[in-house]
Amino acid sequence: MIKASNIHKSYGNLEVLKGVDIHIKIGEVVSIVGESGAGKSTLLQILGTLDHPSNSNKYNTEISIAGESFINMNDKQLSKFRNQNIGFVFQFHQLLPEFTALENVLLPTKIGGANEKEALEKAYALFEDLKIEQRLNHKPNQLSGGEAQRVAVARALINSPKIIFADEPTGNLDSKNADDLHRLFFDLRDKYNQTFVIVTHNPNLAEITDRKLVMKDGMIIE
Ligand SMILES: Nc1ncnc2c1ncn2[C@@H]1O[C@H](COP(=O)(O)OP(=O)(O)O)[C@@H](O)[C@H]1O
Ligand SMILES: [Mg+2]
């Protein structure tokens, strides 16, 4: 699903990623752990097309998702590629406050120009899968932390992405809600063969993922 090699990233003199290789298979749930500052978020942003690697020509950097290389795409091509192939879940839900849960979830389908009726059907199915069907018309400030994160997961899934990147998705939840959301990731994998790459500090989650990658000082060390 993902094939990436020789990813480097520098900010000025600070070398944040020092040649990362990563391969992820379809339907895998992979965790990335490591100390704060190790480069986890930077790696996720680059894999997710939100940021660019440094000197990709010099290092012969390759990154592809579902067989499609995006390293040489321009911004417009990247936005389209991202909208159709990639879902994100962050530590804070990043839902738009003035929109309802349903409107937030439908937003990526509007950007992608999807069929409205199909999008709505998919959204309803996701709200049921994620057990938030009672929260369709609530605004983000009317949702609990766990509910808001579920809505964020529904938004990530609405365009049936090839892969979901999650950056400490349960870092802001209590342990019960965190465990529930973790279980949900595995349910979604079982149901849709959904692929996940999850940066986490949560040892319970890291232990139950298919593979745990450890990052240290800009490298994957195991
Ligand atoms: N936009 C930026 N400008 C300068 N330095 C950055 C930027 N983003 C991240 N860094 C630095 O890169 C290093 C890795 O950051 P990050 O990828 O966020 O680590 P992690 O997610 O593992 O905590 C840190 O030293 C951080 O300060
Ligand atoms: Mg981080």
Q: Is the pLDDT of residue 113 over 90?
A: no
Fold designation for 27-52+85-214: Rossmann fold (3.40.50)
CA distance 105 to 113: 14
Residue 41 CB–ligand 1 contact under 6 Å: yes
What residues does each domain of the chain span? 27-52+85-214
Taking the centre of ligand 2 as the mean of its atom positions, its distance from the CA of residue 167, in whole angstroms, is 7
Q: Which atom of ligand 1 is nearest to the CA of 36?
A: 23
> Please, which pLDDT band fits residue 114 given cuts at 50, 70 and 90?
confident
CA dihedral in degrees (53, 196, 112, 143; nearest 10)?
Answer: -110
Q: Is the pLDDT of residue 91 over 90?
A: yes
Cα separation values, 21 from 98, 134, 150, 158, Å: 40, 42, 31, 29
Query: From atom 13 of ligand 1, which residue's Cα is the shortest distance away?
Result: 37
Predicted pLDDT at 218? 97
Residue 220 CB–ligand 1 contact under 6 Å: no
Taking the centre of ligand 2 as the mean of its atom positions, its distance from the CA of residue 136, in whole angstroms, is 30
Average pLDDT, the chain: 95
CA distance 154 to 95: 11
CA dihedral in degrees (122, 128, 129, 135; nearest 10)?
Answer: 100
Q: Tell me the pLDDT tens digit for each residue of 132-189.
A: 999 999 999 999 999 999 999 999 999 999 999 999 999 999 999 999 999 999 999 9
Taking the centre of ligand 2 as the mean of its atom positions, its distance from the CA of residue 16, in whole angstroms, is 12
Contact between 188 and 8 under an 8 Å Cβ cutoff? The reply is no
